Amino acid sequence: MTPMDQALAEARAAAAQGEVPVGAVVFGPDGTVLARAGNRTEADRDASAHAELLALREAARLLGTPRLVGCDLVVTLEPCPMCAAALVHFRIRQVVFGAYDPKGGGIEHGPRVFSAPGCLHRPEVVGGVRETECGALLRDFFRELRG
């Protein structure tokens, strides 16, 4: 199973729970899975319960450190500004995302957090990995939601 397959599995599980289908997986420097999560904003009644933040927090807890130096994040949607800022503070080495988010993204769109002059850390970014599949999952979810 590829890293994006794992993130997509988390996104599908989130959708099955009525959450916006975004999934994220944190990989350690040696490539092992440290944490995975899907969105839980509705279930947790927490606007910050994005897949990325949940996975980052769990990986840091597991490693016993506030920073994830050398770790990578794979996520199905371009991180929002909140999650992009968290990636800076967690010191993620690389973020790989699927679908671009022109309305809510924070890396390639919107505030472009990593490009800000005062950005403390700039992760490597790979966008558009299986973009069509990741985007279709979101479009189908919202089409079904709207009935």
Active site residues: 52
Classify the C-alpha dihedral 79-17-47-67 as positive or negative: negative
d(CA 135, CA 140): 9
d(CA 31, CA 146): 39
CB-based contacts of 64: which residues, under 8 Å, 6+ apart? none
Q: Position of tokens 């009525």?
A: 18
